[in-house]
Amino acid sequence: MAAASLIRSAFSGLLRKSTTIKTPVACRLFTVALQQKYHTVKTIANLYNTSDLQNGVSRSRQYATGPVRKVTPQDIADRVIKKPQFVRNYSHGPPLTIDIIKSRVLLVLQLFDKVNPEKLSLESHFIQDLGLDSLDHVEVIMAMEDEFGFEIPDGDAERLLKPKDIVQYICDKEDIFE
């Protein structure tokens, strides 16, 4: 109904009434305006014909806008193959050993700005030997949380004053024994 009134109004404005001749005369702008109106109607029809579903696969509604081709098995296969699959793949990291944990802890501490790598060992005390303050100690604990992918509670973090303590805590947390 709305499309019919849109087309009727489009064509009624295209003809002008002549004062000398009783029949309507098509003006020069008739063809330009007709092409513009046709393009507008075709664009609106195409917008109504295609709409996206929630999963990103587009579907077509068939209105009378022109010849419509039949859906082929290849079109169906392409649509199914392009459909996103919502599958979670679970895995865990490489197996941890005490030596790997020691090397990772020391590497993180060596890359820390305020730690002198020459003074660093597993027995070094963060505050007394390495000269770190409490904020630096918190940053070290946060770096260990990022490295190993789990959170260390504040109560446990206060007890971790040496790299050896961190290694032992991570081994206990990950159930790694000698």
What residues are annotated to the active site?
133
| Angle between helices 98-111 and 163-173 in degrees, nearest 10 | 130
Q: Of 95, 128, 132, give the one whose Cα is nearest residue 113.
A: 132
- Report residue 36 as tokens: 């513009």
